[in-house]
Amino acid sequence: MNKFEMVDVALTDMLVEQEDFLINALKNCADNDIPAIEVSPSQGKFLSLLTKTSRSKRILEIGTLGGYSTLWFAKGAGFDSEIVTLELEEENAKIAQQNFDQSPYKSNITIMVNEAEQSLKELVLNQTRSFDLIFLDADKNNNPLYLEYALQLSKEGTIIIADNIIRDGEILNTTSEDERVIGIQKYLERLTEIENVDSVAVETIGIKGIDGFSMSVVNKM
Ligand code: DHB
Ligand code: MG
C-alpha cells in the first residue's frame, strides 16, 4: 500500500463503522465478481452524511452496480425516503436487489433495470416528483446527457453529484480519446455554461486512487 492508501485505511478504521448490511453487501459483490469500482467506505459515509444534513429524502442514483453507494444514501436519507437507482446490467441489479433485501432499507429502494436514458425518459414522461439529490455514477461518456435529464428532474436546491470526474488526472488531457474522459470534460464544461447551477469539484486520493467528484446545487428553475 502506498502512503495515501494507508492514510485512507487508517481514517476509515477510525471514523467509519459499517453496519453488517454494508459489509455484507461488499462481500456479496466480491463473491459475485462485481468489479470493485464502488465508492470507498469513507466516500460512502461522506455521501450519507451529506444526504442526512441536506435532509434529502428523494434520491436518484444513475448507476447502481452492486448497490453499495445506494445503501449509504438510504442510511443517510432514513426510513421515510424514496431511492430510485438505475442499472443497465441484469446481473448487477440482481446482486444489488439481494443486498437491499438484506438491509433495513429494502422498502425504500427501487431499481429500474434498463438503459439509463430510457429510465430517465420514463421518469420525465411520468412527471415523477423532483429529486432532492441525484448521483451520476454510470457510463461516464453519457454524463452530459444524464445532466440534462437530471436538471429536468430537479427543483430549487437539488444537489447533483458526479463521481469519477478526475480519473487519475486524465481530465487535463485535452487530446484524450477515452470516451469516458471526454464525457467528463464535456460535463464540466456544461456546468460552466448552465446559469442556474453553482458547482464545485473536489479531488480525492485514497484506496480508489486519484479521482474526485463534483457537486452542483440547482438554483431557481
Ligand atoms: C469506473 C467507474 C466508476 O464509477 C468508478 O467509481 C471507478 C471506475 C470505471 O468505469 O472505470
Ligand atoms: Mg464511481
Ligand 1 near 18 CB (within 6 A): no
Ligand 1 near 164 CB (within 6 A): yes
Contact of 64 with 23, CB cutoff 8 Å: no
Q: Which ligand lies nearest to the CA atom of residue 35 in the structure?
A: 1
Query: What's the CA gap between 20 and 95, in Å, rounded?
Result: 16
Nearest to 50 by CA among 135, 129, 136, 154: 135
Query: What's the CA gap between 211 and 125, in Å, rounded?
Result: 34
Q: Which ligand lies nearest to the CA atom of residue 141 in the structure?
A: 1
User: Residue whose CA is closest, atom 5 of ligand 1?
Assistant: 37
The reply to whether the predicted model has a pTM over 0.95 is: yes
Give the per-residue pLDDT at 192: 97
User: Residue whose CA is closest, atom 11 of ligand 1?
Assistant: 37
Measured in Å, residue 67 CA sits from the centre of ligand 1 at 14
Measured in Å, residue 37 CA sits from the centre of ligand 1 at 5
Contact of 204 with 213, CB cutoff 8 Å: yes
Residue 137 has pLDDT above 80, yes or no: yes
Query: What's the CA gap between 46 and 179, in Å, rounded?
Result: 28
Nearest to 169 by CA among 137, 207, 209: 209
Give the per-residue pLDDT at 220: 81
Query: What's the CA gap between 197 and 215, in Å, rounded?
Result: 10
| pLDDT tens per residue, range 101-122 | 999 999 999 999 999 999 999 9
Ligand 1 near 163 CB (within 6 A): yes
Query: Among the atoms of ligand 1, which is closest to the Cα of residue 65?
Result: 4
Residue 221 has pLDDT above 80, yes or no: no
| pLDDT tens per residue, range 48-88 | 999 999 999 999 999 999 999 999 999 999 999 999 999 99
Give the per-residue pLDDT at 186: 98
Ligand 1 near 221 CB (within 6 A): no
| pLDDT tens per residue, range 3-43 | 999 999 999 999 999 999 999 999 999 999 999 999 999 99
Give the per-residue pLDDT at 162: 98
Q: 3-class SS at 193?
A: helix
Q: Is the dihedral of CA 186, 180, 66, 7 positive or negative?
A: negative
| pLDDT tens per residue, range 140-152 | 999 999 999 999 9
Q: Which residues have a beta carbon within 5 Å of ligand 2, which is an ion? A: 137, 163-164
Name the percent of the chain lying above pLDDT 90. 99
Residue 104 gets which letter from DSSP?
T
Measured in Å, residue 26 CA sits from the centre of ligand 1 at 16
| pLDDT tens per residue, range 153-210 | 999 999 999 999 999 999 999 999 999 999 999 999 999 999 999 999 999 999 999 9
User: Residue whose CA is closest, atom 4 of ligand 1?
Assistant: 137
Ligand 1 near 139 CB (within 6 A): no
Give the per-residue pLDDT at 52: 98
Phi, psi of 155, rounded to the nearest 5 degrees: -140, 180
The residue to mutate among 37, 43, 86, 208, having the most atoms of ligand 1 within 8 angstroms of its beta carbon, is: 37
